[in-house]
Structure 1
């Protein structure tokens, strides 16, 4: 997948608050302060930490081996000299020079012999019995030697030869062991650094190839997509990896695709809104002309015209109001309800008259609202609520082709204290399951007759302005919407 912008691994200079420029990588962070640099540093530190755990027993083992070598050398030489009874000064000097000791003595149980001594040893700061040492005491003694400051001596006691019962007692300068231990530590440190660098480099290169590069590709894909989310060609191409990063790529691509589709849909809806506003502007003018013609018909001396003209005129008034509401949709909320006490049954009858349900050939309208039920609501808004619900039911029933089906729309209402509960039900096929979760959201329609999905959204908005609610009752056959409208005092 090709990406625009700076090439991979290049630094992008950016100006800071004080006017200076700093180098940043593709993530917007410092090149060496980013994930790659931190990964390299942590690898080196962890390898060095592992080397520390290796070094501690190693230095203790080096100390023990060094002391045993001195004891063995001194023990062999002391045994030979003791058996030949020839302890010449020259031989003593050679033995002391070979072992680096200040004094060597041989303990044969009942007899203790001084084999060699250069000078009278000074103060003895350490006494080591090699037969009684433990790993922990060896480690502690090793670090005591490394941190020792002074010119003192140490006394080492142990068996000089394998299989012999003699014990060798050697007095050595502490500085001699300390120098060799420091040299050994330096070699261990140098080797550890080499191993750390090699290991860190291999881990760094591997992790960079496996993780850092794919992460940068994800970031660049997001940046490229953010430049033009509506462009579907900018959606990330999935590499097909079968790991966590592959899952991240799949989820990112799915999210970008959903976002691009949503933005494209919103743009289309915005264009549709503009077109609807233009159409409604002209439609309002046509309806106004129709109102003028109808006002002239009111003066015609005909009983039928006199009975129908007021209802047609009221319907045209509502139509003009609806066109005005569509033109202002999105610029403001619905106006606040201007509540009055209304005869709810009369409102239901008006809705039936407007929809032609009074003399409908196939659909029966059953208004079971009691005459004494009064509702505290805005006249126009509660009419729109019932009109949308009854019209949806009528469209669903008219779409049924089987003549044996019962097609009935029923209005039922009751007053419960300060709240009016109303049910609008029909004997239709019901609400499809795939739209129930978004039933009262705009532009979610289950209708197959060109509906745009605004009716129930408008109903929910108008009822919410009244402090009421609406929900779908799944327990009843067909479709049954339950409405609750509380009084103003509630």
Structure 2
């Protein structure tokens, strides 16, 4: 028998679990049903909370009514004619009172007025002279839950120095309490349902429907995030749900724009990859021609040919490392001690700033100044910054405007700070928020914004930072901070010992 593949078994395990979870979600009650049930339950709990003292008060009122009837009957019982009343009539009168015995206390004297039969013992004493207390609530529930008959001794209030006591069974009291309690519970249930309906409708309109609208908007948007028509339209509410709708609309709008931009960048990356392939072949051919030109004995050719060859070499290297969208990663820096002045001079030569008609370039970097960096990547950073500055200043046609590009650097401990400043129009406010993001930080019309994004990525790979310095003067100032590589402690100690 062939063995089932692990993948198939795992898929089989995953499939039923997903289906079970979906079926469980379908069987689960909706938020509206839960709201209705909770509303009824909470209102019922409130009714039950009021039922507790009510049933205790009913018990006391029942006993007070029996005591009032007994006090009315005691007038006859205490008369001389009572002895002439037949026994049957006496028992009927006691049954009407609901007592098995009636006792009259006058000071220390006790006199039995009437009795059907004397109980062997009394299970509970109820003193009606005491106010309603928590003990009365416990006694009321004890009467409700008692399955066996109990005998109660009820002491009434004193009148003219006389106190009347009754000995009664709790069965009629329990029957009346059950009937009263059932009536109260039924009424509480009806009141709960009647009160729950407007509460439910109000909560449904105020909270459940808006929350359902939010969840449906999320589900609908997740089906096609690039469709801007699926973005939720806020209702304009000023409460927390209105804030959630506004924030959700903002998030959906940003996500939709990001996805559209990424789709555009994916197409652009494919086009760049194709152009890069052909351009690399063309540059390779140009490099072969430059090698032949370098062999000519002309002094001018000998002077510029090495720079031309180096520039073509860099161009070919750039093509080989061109960032295709989704695969765009700069290589790790190959750091060396680099003469920063020489790199700056190469940038000036490539941009042709030595003999520029309108732009004056100054390099305020000592020839012996060193920086720990990748020479090619550092060249690209300075080239991008200087090219942006030159293009910004070239865009101004007024001959009276001063056009100056400045490169300077200083070292503070293990950190080298390089500044590139120009006297151009500066960076617009709208571009500062996304200045170092690809395809978003373009400063000049028609620019892609890739130069600053590439520069920022390279500087970050060196463990440094690049920032736009806020100045009150004209132009823009970019500051690059690159720290030296960290050196292991043992190696530094050996180097110091030497």
- TM-score of the two chains, using structure 1 as the length reference: 0.85
Question: Is 2:410 aligned against 1:407?
Answer: no
Q: Deviations over 1:9-32 (max 9, x none)?
A: xxxxx98539879755xxx35333
| Alignment CA distance shift 1:157-1:377 (3 Å) | closer
State which of 258, 261, 271 in structure 2 corresponds to 1:265.
261
Matched-pair contact (CA < 8 Å) for 1:376–1:487: yes
Distance between the aligned counterparts of 2:21 and 2:463, measured in 1? 58
Contact 1:100–1:172 (8 Å) recurs in 2: yes
Which structure features the higher share of helix residues? 2
Secondary structure, aligned partner of 2:322 = helix
Q: Where does 1:416-427 land on structure 2 (aligned, <5 Å)?
A: 416-427=412-423
1:227 aligns with 2:243: no
CA contact (8 A) 1:155 1:169 kept: yes
CA contact (8 A) 1:280 1:327 kept: no
Q: Quick check: 1:138 aligned with 2:136?
A: yes
Query: How far 1:123 sits from its partner (Å)?
Result: 0.9
CA separation of 1:238 and 1:329: change in aligned 2, threshold 3 A: closer
Gaps of 5+ in 1: 1-13
1:345 aligns with 2:341: yes
CA RMSD of aligned residues (A): 3.0
- Residue 309 of structure 1 pairs with residue 305 of structure 2: yes
Distance 1:290 1:110, change over 3 A: closer
Aligned mates of 2:484, 2:152 — CA distance in 1: 102
Please give the secondary structure, in 2, of the residue aligned with 1:423.
Answer: strand
Query: Aligned to 1:17, what secondary structure does the other structure show?
Result: helix
Write out aligned runs for 1:72-471 (5 A).
72-83=68-79, 85-87=81-83, 88-89=85-86, 90-107=88-105, 113-159=111-157, 166-241=162-237, 243-298=239-294, 302-326=298-322, 330-331=326-327, 333-471=329-467
Q: Does the CA contact (< 8 Å) of 2:344 and 2:382 recur in 1?
A: yes
Distance 2:409 2:472 in 1: 16
Cα distance in 1 for residues equivalent to 2:21 and 2:380:
63
Return the TM-score normalized by structure 2.
0.84
Listed one character per residue, the Cα deviations across residues 44-78 of structure 1 (whole Å, up to 9, x for unaligned) are: 33223212221121111111111111111111122
Offset from partner CA, 1:344-378 (integer Å, 9 cap, x none): 21221111111111011211101111111133332
Contact residue 361 and residue 405 of structure 2 kept, 8 A: yes
Structure 2: tracts of 5 or more residues without a match: 1-13, 488-498
**Aligned equivalents of 1:145 and 1:179: distance in 2?**
10
Tell me the SS of whatever aligns to 1:155.
Answer: strand
Give 1:10's aligned residue.
none
What is the Cα deviation at residue 239 of structure 1?
Answer: 4.1
| Separation of aligned partners in 1, 2:409 and 2:108 | 121
Q: 2:3 matched to which residue of 1?
A: none
